[in-house]
Amino acid sequence: MGLRDTLFGRTKQVAPNLDNLFALSAAALTLESELDLVTSGQGGLCFKAGSGESTITTDDDIKQLLDFDETNNKVTLSTDDLGFKWLVVSDPDLEALITRIHAADTSMVEHGLGPRLLCAVFGFVPKSPPGEGPVRLVYLMKQGTFYPFAPTGATQRNNELELRVRSFLSTDLPIEKDLTRWMALWNLPVN
């Protein structure tokens, strides 16, 4: 924010950074070889729906905007208990998953909803269960960085595993350096 914005108490809306999303496909190879983790076949996009923003306020509007294809049942739209909307995409192929999430992002940005985007989440599960439990890679839209989130219970997370994921992926992915930003996402609709 510039001096004038500070003086007048204005907050500029921050545009999302989508460029780094595609780095995930290379990182997935490392995840599989080093930590035995493969895609869970689900990815999600989390955003805050606002009122009065152009005309897109209802679920139907969003569905229309994102070219919803309900016939194959691969995409769902839900609202979580904290009032955030989740667009969950299911596809066993990670590349396709990333492409679809990116397409949804882009289309939201085109309709002026970019500042409303919070994060994208990609699920990873052990290739040979139970393993060490699932890991989600969270992509912070505004920062353009990833961080791992490995929940083990209602409000418990496996920090050791998360730090291990960081050590393996730090060359492949822009990992969020500030650990205090590795916020939890309890009760995710993305597996």
Partner 1 sequence: MAKTKIESDHGLNVRMFLTGLGLVALYAIIVSVMLSLGVSVVFVVVIAGAMIFCQYYFSDKIAMFAMHAHEVTPQQEPRLHQIVDRLCLLANMEKPRVGVSEMDMPNAFATGRNPNHAVICATRGIMQRLNDEELEAVLAHELSHVAHRDVAVMTIASGVGMLAGLVSRIALFGAMFGGGGGRGRGGQNIVLLEMATMLISIIIYFIAFLLTMALSRYRELAADRSGAILIGKPSVLASALVHVTGDIGKIPRTDLRKSEGMNAFFFAPALAPGTAANLFSTHPTLERRLDQLNKLEKELNG
Interface residues toward partner 1, by CB under 8 A: 1, 11, 13-14, 46, 48, 80, 82, 84, 115-116, 118-119, 138, 140, 142-143, 155-157, 159-160, 162-163, 178-186
CB of 181 to partner 1, least distance (A): 8
Taking the least distance from each CB to partner 1, the nearer of 159 and 171 is 159
Sign of CA dihedral 173, 171, 148, 92: positive
Strand order across the beta sheet in which 85-90 lies: 75-79, 85-90, 37-47, 117-126, 135-140, 145-149
100 versus 116: smaller Cβ distance to partner 1:
116
Q: With the CA atoms of 71, 74, 76 and 82 taken in that order, what torsion angle do they form, in degrees rounded to the nearest 10?
A: 170
Nearer to partner 1, 58 or 159 (CB): 159
Q: In whole angstroms, how close is the CB of 70 to partner 1 at the nearest point?
A: 26
Give the shortest CB-69-to-partner 1 separation in angstroms.
Answer: 27
Alpha helices in 120-173 (DSSP H): 159-169
Q: Report the distance separating Cα 77 and Cα 44, nearest Å.
A: 10
> What minimum distance in Å lies between the beta carbon of 96 and partner 1?
26
**102 vs 116, which CB is nearer to partner 1?**
116
Taking the complex as a whole, the smallest distance from the CB of residue 14 to partner 1 amounts, in Å, to 6
DSSP string, 60-91: HHHHHHTT--TTTT-EEEEE-TTS-EEEEEE-
Cβ proximity to partner 1, 29 vs 183, nearer residue: 183
- Asked if omega into 130 is within 30° of 0 (cis), the reply is yes
